[in-house]
Chain A
Amino acid sequence: MAIGWFLAVSALIFTIGAAGVLTRRSPLVILLCLELMLNAANLALIAFARMHANHDGQIFAVIVMVVAACEVTVGLGVIVAMHRRRLPIDVDEMQELQG
């Protein structure tokens, strides 16, 4: 397959993820949509690595996966803390950053 097809799929997935971040209200689903966007970026990185037959893009993708795992851990920790404090699990109602 031509590399351009992979880039088109990557752009489509990134767009779906961005639209999800904008429209959904639950922070859990927003984190999932962030994952979608990071994965779309990973797909583009690996497609370009294949295009140039160079490993650097693949290493970059692995590091992106590590950063995504960290982001998930901290984000889910925040959601659990919100649940413990009886705060609403809804980003529209969390309008003020008060503790």
Chain B
Amino acid sequence: MGEVLFFVAGIGAVAGAIGVVAVRNPFYSVLALVSHLLCLAALFLLLRAEFVAAAQVVVYAGAVMVLYVFVVAYVGGRDEPLGPRAGSGLRAVSAIFGAALFLELCVATLGSGLQLIDSDGTPAPDSFGSPEEIGSLLLTKFLLPFEVASFLLLIAAVGAVVLARRRGGLTAVEEQARYSAMDILRPAYTGTMAEGVGGRHTLPEATVTNTPQEAEDAS
């Protein structure tokens, strides 16, 4: 039973990984990665890592991939030619590099002479990998990494907002569309999120209203 599950999930994970690299459309790459992550979660379950498998499905395949799908839809996932533009020489070099890396990793892990590597692992208690065990470890032995990770998430969230905000503010048309009675009553710069990112300044029309396709057509 375990062997069948391993081969199904392992082949699914490798096929998903190949799909991420080999598909032209970025949208399908994201979908391939989702299937890859689900198969990997099954592998984690075979290794008795229940909490990590659940976190993988909920956080990775659920939340992070939705973020990817949004950005692909926003940027416009157009089909792109595979491989480097410089020619087939670089592609051959990267294939050779990949094969060498795989050989090296296999030698490093399988040839390491670890005694337990051909076994099913040390016998573990039934509660191994359960959320209870992981939670108590995170709040006792690994409290500092836990807190540092939460701080890192905060920094990343703030950094993403700063990076991706609209620098020039709204156009005049958008500014009028969001005008309401509250704007007369309240003092300036105390209300909307648009003001918070500099919405009172307007860019010249040409740079704001053009979509990327129009800009490319013009140039």
Q: Which residues of A contact B (CB under 8 A)?
A: 1-20, 22-26, 28-29, 31-33, 35-36, 39, 42-44, 46-47, 49-53, 55, 58-59, 61-63, 65-74, 76-81, 83-84, 86, 89-90, 92
In the complex, chain B residues whose CB is within 8 Å of the CB of A52: 116, 121-122
B47's nearest neighbour on chain A, judged by CB, is: A50
At the interface, is chain B mostly helix, strand, loop or mixed? helix
B125's nearest neighbour on chain A, judged by CB, is: A53
Give the complex CA separation of A68 and B157 in angstroms. Answer: 13
Contact of B156 among A6, A26, A31, A69 (CB under 8 A): A69
Contact B84 A19 (CB under 8 A): no
User: In angstroms, how far is the closest chain A Cβ from the Cβ of B18?
Assistant: 6
In the complex, chain B residues whose CB is within 8 Å of the CB of A43: 40, 43-44
In the complex, chain B residues whose CB is within 8 Å of the CB of A26: 26, 80
Q: How many interface residues does chain B have, given as a range?
A: 35 or more
Give the complex CA separation of A20 and B14 in angstroms. Answer: 13
In the complex, chain A residues whose CB is within 8 Å of the CB of B120: 1-3
User: In angstroms, how far is the closest chain B Cβ from the Cβ of A47?
Assistant: 6
Closest 8 CB pairs of A and B: A77-B163, A70-B156, A11-B105, A19-B98, A20-B21, A53-B122, A77-B160, A22-B94
User: In angstroms, how far is the closest chain A Cβ from the Cβ of B110?
Assistant: 5
In the complex, chain B residues whose CB is within 8 Å of the CB of A25: 80-81, 84-85
B19's nearest neighbour on chain A, judged by CB, is: A16
Contact B49 A84 (CB under 8 A): no
Query: What's the A-B contact tally at a CB cutoff of 8 Å?
Result: 244
B91's nearest neighbour on chain A, judged by CB, is: A23
At the interface, is chain A mostly helix, strand, loop or mixed? helix
In the complex, chain A residues whose CB is within 8 Å of the CB of B117: 2-4, 7, 51
* B138 adjacent to chain A (CB < 8 Å): yes
Contact B60 A65 (CB under 8 A): yes
User: In angstroms, how far is the closest chain A Cβ from the Cβ of B83?
Assistant: 6
Give the complex CA separation of A19 and B91 in angstroms. Answer: 9
In the complex, chain A residues whose CB is within 8 Å of the CB of B121: 3, 50-53
Give the complex CA separation of A83 and B215 in angstroms. Answer: 12
User: In angstroms, how far is the closest chain A Cβ from the Cβ of B210?
Assistant: 8
Q: A1-B3, A59-B142, A80-B74 are in contact. List 11 more A-B contacts (CB 8 A).
A: A2-B118, A3-B116, A16-B98, A17-B21, A22-B97, A23-B21, A28-B75, A46-B49, A49-B49, A63-B149, A83-B74
Chain B 1-48 residues near chain A, CB threshold 8 A? 2-3, 6, 10, 13-14, 17-18, 20-21, 26, 29-30, 33, 36-37, 40, 43-44, 46-48
